Amino acid sequence: MEKTVRFSISLELDLSKQFDQWMKKNGYQNRSEAIRDLIRDKLVEEEWKDDQKEVVAVLSLVYDHESRELPEVLTAVQHEHYHLIISSTHIHLDKHNCLEAIIMKGKAGQIKKAANKLLSLRRVKHGRLVMSTTGKDIA
């Protein structure tokens, strides 16, 4: 069985109320799990501060595949960084629009650089980089 550490925290009433509302809105059913997630978030954030740390990321892009040059440039930039990309899932949303979900693993610094190249391309309609973790150092 897992060992558990139990401790108390004190919160101002207002902050506590706001936290409870946030928990409810986000589907949490007890405070411990919500606090655990806040701590894990900080730890993952910390991993990304070290450019040499191995991390995992999901980059999502929405674009029109008929945009002049965009598909070719997207493919070229991805192949340039192919050692960072595990897989890339492409959804044909309709006749024009595509979603691409690119899963990456590698050094934080390199992933941020490659992602910025893709995100700042002309004619990408929406893009986001989720900075996640290999899970190795997060309990």
Summarize as ranges the residues that interact with its own copies (CB under 8 A).
25-29, 33-34, 37, 40-41, 44, 56, 58, 60, 62-65, 71-72, 75, 78-79, 82, 85-99, 101, 103, 105, 113, 116-117, 119-120, 122, 124-128, 130, 132-136, 138-139
Q: In the numeric block, which tokens belong to residue 134?
A: 């290999």
Q: How far apart are alpha carbons 110 and 52 in whole angstroms?
A: 9
CB of 1 to its own copies, least distance (A): 10
Please say which residue, 14 or 72, places its beta carbon nearer to its own copies.
Answer: 72
Please say which residue, 8 or 120, places its beta carbon nearer to its own copies.
Answer: 120
CB of 112 to its own copies, least distance (A): 9
Choose among 88, 22, 94, 42: nearest CA to 65: 94
Q: How far apart are alpha carbons 135 and 61 in whole angstroms?
A: 24
CB of 139 to its own copies, least distance (A): 8
β-bridge mates for residue 126, sequence order:
62
Helix, strand, coil in percent for the chain, rounding step 5: 40, 30, 30
Please say which residue, 17 or 125, places its beta carbon nearer to its own copies.
Answer: 125
Identify the residue whose tokens are 């997060």. 138
Strands 85-92 and 54-64: unpaired
Please say which residue, 1 or 13, places its beta carbon nearer to its own copies.
Answer: 1
CB of 110 to its own copies, least distance (A): 13
